[in-house]
Amino acid sequence: MYDQEGIRIGLEADPSIRGNSQTGLNHHPIDLTPKDLTVLLESIQVSGYSGTIAGLLTKPEPVPLFTATELSVISEPLAVAFREAKPTERVFFSLPKPDVTYSEDRTVGALFYRGSYLHVVVTDHSSIIRTDTGGGDYKDLRDTKNMKLWVVGPAQAANIPDFEEPRWAHFERVHISLPLNDVLMRKAYRRGAAPNQERTDSSLQPPTTIPTDHSAPTTSSGELQQQIRGLSGMNQELRNRLDEQHQQMRQLQEQLDQLRREVPRSNANGQSHKSTPAP
């Protein structure tokens, strides 16, 4: 989809979607503007262990997941990819190490939108030098460089309920999720509170499939309705889980009662055998 100057952006099958379940599909395609994606991704930082002596002696400091220059280049291709993605696909990215002529280290990962969250997966980052494999494979899939993802204010990382947590692929242990609309609105509020700052910048509006000529109140109302529907669905799923747990408890109680009834009979039979004299 995009392959220029070593930067690759495209679509791939989402490994967190398994089987024929319709409940875990991504909400793709989605209309996100380049500025929306810049606001979201500039709030993410990464830290990790560098496979050098210096990496052993220094505490890893978080750095931006993408530099400002990288975001200015990839935001448009990412927006195009999200508009073309299918519910079973995610958007992948692979960027070379900036400001060097050649390096094997790259920034690699993927993005997908599900529920109300933008999920970010990182499998490698160019700022963290890879461990020397001693002539073996180029990169061990299990080596995550002890990477961790962080979110800087005013954005906040999402606390996802267990039943909404994606079923992550085995070696994709470095990931973070953002409440998409919340992050965009926090950024808009912060900019709107600044002196001499326009409050009507359309790029600060949360993404929506409603045509852009609609007013902001209409957009906000639609988002609230979507959030209410999402909460209603979560409540219904929780109720269903509670009902299943109650049913399992009843079954366990019945089995326990049956065992209690069988134990006295077993003891009685054992005592009768002992009291019978030998011939």
Q: Give the phi and the psi of residue 52 in degrees, each rounded to 5.
A: -135, 170
Please report which residue ranges of 85-215 form alpha helices under DSSP H. Answer: 180-193
Which pLDDT score is estimated for 46?
96
Provide CB contacts within 8 A for 266, sequence distance 6+: none
Rounded Cα distance, 128 and 107, in Å = 9
In contact, 118 and 177? CB cutoff 8 Å? yes
Which pLDDT score is estimated for 23?
61
Structure tokens belonging to residue 182? 């919340």
Structure tokens belonging to residue 89? 């696909």
Which pLDDT score is estimated for 196?
46
Instruction: Kindly give the interhelix angle for 68-84 and 34-41, rounded to the nearest 10 degrees.
Output: 120
Which pLDDT score is estimated for 204?
38
Which pLDDT score is estimated for 66?
98
Element (H, E) at 7: strand 7-13
In contact, 109 and 67? CB cutoff 8 Å? no
Which pLDDT score is estimated for 40?
97
Give per-residue burial for 174-197: e unless 16+ CB within 10 Å, then b. Answer: bbbbbbbbbbbbbbbeebeeeeee
Which pLDDT score is estimated for 183?
93
Per-residue pLDDT tens digits of the chain, which is 279 residues long: 899 999 999 999 999 997 666 668 999 999 999 999 999 999 999 998 765 555 556 677 899 999 999 999 999 999 999 999 999 999 999 999 998 888 888 999 999 999 999 999 999 999 887 655 555 555 555 556 789 999 998 899 999 999 899 999 888 999 999 999 999 998 775 655 544 443 334 333 444 433 333 333 444 555 666 666 666 666 666 676 667 777 777 887 888 788 877 776 666 666 655 555 555
pTM to 2 decimal places: 0.64
Rounded Cα distance, 18 and 21, in Å = 7
User: In this structure, which amino acid lies at residue 164?
Assistant: E
3-state secondary structure of 22: coil
In contact, 48 and 188? CB cutoff 8 Å? no
Rounded Cα distance, 134 and 13, in Å = 32
